[in-house]
Structure 1
Amino acid sequence: MPDYLPFDPNPHAPSYALPAGACDSQFHVFGSPAQYPVRQGAAYEMPTATWQVAQKLHQTLGISRGVIVQATTYGADHQVVLDALQALNTGATPSYRGCANALVLKERDDAYLQRLHDAGVRGARFTRGGLGISFSATEMNEALAKVKALGWYIKVQPEPTGIAEQMQTFSSFDGPILMDHMGRIDPSKGPSDATWQAVHQLLEKDNLWVMLSLSEKLSKTGQPWDDVVPLAQSLIAKAPERVVWGSDWPHPISIKQPPNEGDLLDLLRRFAPDDATLHRILVDNPARFFGFDTQKVSP
């Protein structure tokens, strides 16, 4: 298993106060391999990125809601997410949701899926092929039917070449779909790029959403990631009511030093310089999509 660089252990607050109810729409949690066995063939593991560390991170940043996305490290075994959701949701109203790895739809039974739902999982993430999880056509159809029956959303992690071709697989799914990492558009290519155009066209459908994340890896110019700003602003302009933000902490598979989350939120402020748009991205949109205020996700 390759060694990747660890997350910044000293996160700082952003330069502005986040609105109440701000949500980190994607982060991962890990734990000791003795407690949470690593899936055979896993591409990476990060045992120090526990829910306790994530909780302190969110407190530092001013974030009060979040979505724990199951890492491919654990495959269909979601115990690390179940334990984190139980620990973090101590109030009467859940402040954390979960997103399963789609492998669970293939390898676990309906009772296990219901257990995830009862714990606060509301979606399934289909990861890129390089992380070792794949579906046949039949398995994919069965998986999508289960997602629909549960009332969950679909989350799609883009391939390194961009998300456009992958989305054909989900063209018949009429439930909510969230495209990760700004569709992995190459910001250096500009609006004439085929992937740029495809993602913007997809956002014309009212069940398609996009997450502002992975800026540090999409950028070709490096920090402060100036080249990503026009891309993010174009996505916000296209579908302001269907954009969310995620830290992607602890930034798995990083071959360069991962960013400080405070810097990423300062970048978000450049994406959305007015308070109303920022509030929509951090509070209103994720509350609606992840079901913080309701029990079922709505497109």
Structure 2
Amino acid sequence: MIHTLSAPLCQAPDPEIRSPSIAFPEGAVDCHAHVCGPALQFPYAPERIYTPPDAPLENYQSLLAMLGVNRAVLVQPSVYGTDNRALLAALKSDPQQFRGVAVIPNHLEEVSEPYLQELHDAGVRGVRCNIVDVTDPSTGLPIQTLKALAERIKPFGWHLELLMHVNEYPDLAKVFEHFPVDLVFGHFGYTHAKHGVSNKGFQGLLELMRNEQAWVKMTGPYRICDGNLPYTDMRPFNDAVIEANPKRLVWGSDWPHVMVKKQMPHDADLCELLGTWVSDSALRKSILVDNPCILYDFPTFSKVGN
């Protein structure tokens, strides 16, 4: 039995079977998606703040086929805490199709080298840190903890993915000036559109991109603006990160769109939105194919059966 009284059930993704009108290039990568469940096989953490409807690997692979996307990066969702078993099972099911971003304990003495090697061998190429839910902006970033984690993962060539509101840290670029590994910021830096592109924290993110210290995931625009599609308020953020450094951008669907409390977006519409916001096909290929291969160490793409 799955208990949801303290962790409310969130909205399920749109079930409509519909492909986008835009064709993604061969080898395209969805760089941000989550596998959730089946909960009876991979139980969610009791301390979670929401309960997702089961969104198992099979459903996600059907979605990829519907969208015309060949490969994907699976990111450990918060509902599993540091239990990466569901993620590892998904990665091991198809090492050519999937890469992963795991979550490991903050107490690094609990993490063995063989476990890190197991994650790497399965396809993990980064570690995710949730700053939003655990850090008070007034106290600053836990930079020493983050640096210690970065030094631990550096030998594997991994990056550190941060879920944080960059607008809350006006000295962002200075704080991460000499960071040991590449940084990846989800959801355009997770700054609400109301703060504008001139916000010091967002400008710091752009500086990190220009200095080739940070990557940005062009994901979840619905999470950081008030309206529904086409998320007009987010267009300036899209244009700003492209201008800063288009070689440091990747795209993701954010499926199954957990904790969305407004109109649930259809993934086909999100694909078409990228086509509108990134109209140049060469740039779109860079964001969807070339950049992800560098960041996530994907092999050269070849169709199944070739």
TM-score (ref. length: structure 1)? 0.88
Is the CA contact (8 Å cut-off) linking 1:202 and 1:208 kept in structure 2?
Answer: yes
Is the CA contact (8 Å cut-off) linking 2:34 and 2:254 kept in structure 1?
Answer: yes
Give the whole-Å Cα distance in 2 for the aligned partners of 1:160 and 1:267: 24
Output one character per residue of 1:190-228: Cα deviation in whole Å (capped at 9) or x when no partner. Answer: 333223322222222112111101111222332121221
Give the whole-Å Cα distance in 1 for the aligned partners of 2:281 and 2:153: 35
- What is the number of residues matched between the two proteins? 288
Aligned to 1:297: none
Structure 1 residues 140, 196: closer, same or farther in 2, change over 3 A?
closer
Amino acid of the structure 2 residue aligned with 1:175:
V
Give the whole-Å Cα distance in 2 for the aligned partners of 1:115 and 1:76: 14
Amino acid of the structure 2 residue aligned with 1:195:
G
How far is the alpha carbon of 1:160 from its aligned partner? 8.2
Aligned to 1:6: 12
Aligned to 1:219: 225
Give the whole-Å Cα distance in 2 for the aligned partners of 1:172 and 1:64: 35
Aligned to 2:162: 156
Q: Which of the residues 112, 115, 137 maps onto 2:118?
A: 115
Q: Which of the residues 230, 237, 242 maps onto 1:236?
A: 242
How far is the alpha carbon of 1:153 from its aligned partner? 0.8
Q: Which of the residues 275, 280, 286 maps onto 2:286?
A: 280
Give the whole-Å Cα distance in 2 for the aligned partners of 1:162 and 1:246: 24
Amino acid of the structure 1 residue aligned with 2:120:
H
Give the whole-Å Cα distance in 1 for the aligned partners of 2:204 and 2:143: 23
Give the whole-Å Cα distance in 1 for the aligned partners of 2:241 and 2:94: 31
User: The residue matched to 1:114 in structure 2 has which SS?
Assistant: helix
Give the whole-Å Cα distance in 2 for the aligned partners of 1:183 and 1:139: 20
Aligned to 1:56: 62
How far is the alpha carbon of 1:72 from its aligned partner? 1.5
Is the CA contact (8 Å cut-off) linking 2:228 and 2:262 kept in structure 1?
Answer: no
1:179-190 alignment, distance < 5 Å:
179-190=185-196
Further displaced range: 103-112 or 253-262: 103-112
Identity %: 32
Aligned to 2:88: 82
User: The residue matched to 2:270 in structure 1 has which SS?
Assistant: helix
1:190-269 alignment, distance < 5 Å:
190-269=196-275
Aligned to 2:298: 292
Output one character per residue of 1:6-50: Cα deviation in whole Å (capped at 9) or x when no partner. Answer: 111225221111100111001000113332122231122325200
Give the whole-Å Cα distance in 2 for the aligned partners of 1:138 and 1:240: 30
TM-score (ref. length: structure 2)? 0.86
Structure 1 residues 79, 254: closer, same or farther in 2, change over 3 A?
same
Is the CA contact (8 Å cut-off) linking 2:173 and 2:204 kept in structure 1?
Answer: no
Structure 1 residues 184, 125: closer, same or farther in 2, change over 3 A?
same
1:2-151 alignment, distance < 5 Å:
2-89=8-95, 94-103=96-105, 106=108, 107-130=110-133, 139-151=145-157
Is the CA contact (8 Å cut-off) linking 1:229 and 1:270 kept in structure 2?
Answer: no
Output one character per residue of 1:113-149: Cα deviation in whole Å (capped at 9) or x when no partner. Answer: 11111000010011134269xx966644432221112
Structure 1 residues 173, 137: closer, same or farther in 2, change over 3 A?
closer
Give the whole-Å Cα distance in 2 for the aligned partners of 1:251 and 1:131: 21
Amino acid of the structure 1 residue aligned with 2:131:
R
Structure 1 residues 6, 165: closer, same or farther in 2, change over 3 A?
farther
Further displaced range: 265-274 or 168-177: 168-177
Output one character per residue of 1:252-290: Cα deviation in whole Å (capped at 9) or x when no partner. Answer: 122223210111111111111011111111011111111
Output one character per residue of 1:175-201: Cα deviation in whole Å (capped at 9) or x when no partner. Answer: 221111101233344333223322222
Amino acid of the structure 2 residue aligned with 1:237:
E
Is the CA contact (8 Å cut-off) linking 1:229 and 1:271 kept in structure 2?
Answer: yes
Give the whole-Å Cα distance in 2 for the aligned partners of 1:3 and 1:125: 23
Amino acid of the structure 1 residue aligned with 2:62:
K
Structure 1 residues 159, 185: closer, same or farther in 2, change over 3 A?
closer
Is the CA contact (8 Å cut-off) linking 1:28 and 1:248 kept in structure 2?
Answer: yes
RMSD: 2.4
